[in-house]
Copies of this chain bind each other. A is one copy, B any other.
């Protein structure tokens, strides 16, 4: 696919994800952390308008003077922003108007892409990766918001259950390894620079932890014994009276699980999903094992299957040696989040096709579980 085709394909995919939504679903925002589908559709469009069209196309007229204000996200340097937790309150512009906005920007973008300007093309690639990131968020945010509806709406055909085969230990030789992206395709700034890391003797599990194993942990008092938990994780368990992963619901002693396709009985063979870092760590501690570091994951990932669950690592999200913040607003991109977040590696059933790499660093605060997050175990040798 050339860039024009990729552009059209990625842009259409965002709309395709919303095919089964009713208008009312487009505004759902169940918490500050999640955004409504309509906002994702508009914000990804605004990114192209603001960072590519406005600076590079003198003939371009912004669609609406206030859209910059409405669909800005965390880019503080671009001006005042609407409060994050009020995105669901923007009933106007309507879904229809946002779709028109998308078409308007797409038209202008396609003309610009036609010029084959390498600098612009690089920005377009960044914009498309940005949109793909938001596609995954659109899915996971929507799932979270719909879950508050006692009617358990069914809106997407994603196969959330993924069977895991029996796990084996994969041992890795200690030594100095190269970490980070060193290819010539697109990567995020947080994957740079490629650099050396010394890896000590360890082994990693070939399979993800399954629902069956996780239920064993639950049944053996996993959520009642502080020994397995970080102090902060234990406080989280106690405060919210957590007893199971997110979206799990017990009805007459049977576990059900809310999927984007409606409520379903738990599939014991599937990889567990929607656990946070505290839960992943506690599970590992209960097993007498630990989570891998992101470096251990990266040097061993070619020896196991991955891509259905974001896998918690025991690495904090920190800059690689020589990491620098790009100047200007786009430069705010990743560096400012490098505190109090843990790295997740891999990809998930909600990740857009073509949007994963062995060096990709996803990151979330340890308390969050609304992504498709799973557990892979490791041990020091």
Contacts and interface: CB of A to CB of B under 8 A. Distances in A.
Contacts of A232: 339-340
Interface string A142-155: 00011011110100
Interface string A328-356: 00001000111110100000000000000
B277 A25 contact: no
Nearest to A89: B148
A145 B89 contact: yes
A342 to B, nearest CB: 8
A51 interface: no
Q: Is the interface of A mostly helix, strand, loop or mixed?
A: mixed
Interface in A306-344: 314-316, 318-319, 321-322, 325, 332, 336-340, 342
Given A23-B24, A196-B198, A339 B277 contact: yes
B25 A91 contact: yes
A380 interface: yes
Contact of A366 (B91, B176, B340): B340
Contacts of A77: 226-227
Given A24-B26, A229-B336, A321 B150 contact: no
Contacts of A229: 336
Contacts of A28: 89, 91
A197 B196 CA distance: 10
Given A196-B200, A198-B196, A380 B322 contact: yes
A124 to B, nearest CB: 25
Nearest to A66: B150
Q: How often does this chain occur in the complex, in copies?
A: 4
A230 B91 contact: no
Interface in A253-278: 277-278
B233 A146 contact: no
Contacts of A337: 230-231
A70 B227 contact: no
B70 A150 contact: yes
Contacts of A123: none
Contact of A92 (B22, B26, B336): B22
A92 B230 contact: no
Contacts of A93: 151
Given A22-B92, A91-B149, A316-B318, 14 more contacts: A22-B91, A24-B27, A27-B27, A66-B151, A76-B226, A77-B226, A89-B145, A89-B148, A174-B196, A176-B198, A200-B322, A281-B339, A339-B366, A340-B340
8 contacts: A23-B23, A24-B92, A25-B92, A76-B226, A230-B338, A231-B336, A322-B380, A340-B340
**A-B complex: 6 closest residue pairs judged by Cβ atoms:** A316-B316, A24-B91, A200-B321, A198-B198, A23-B23, A76-B226
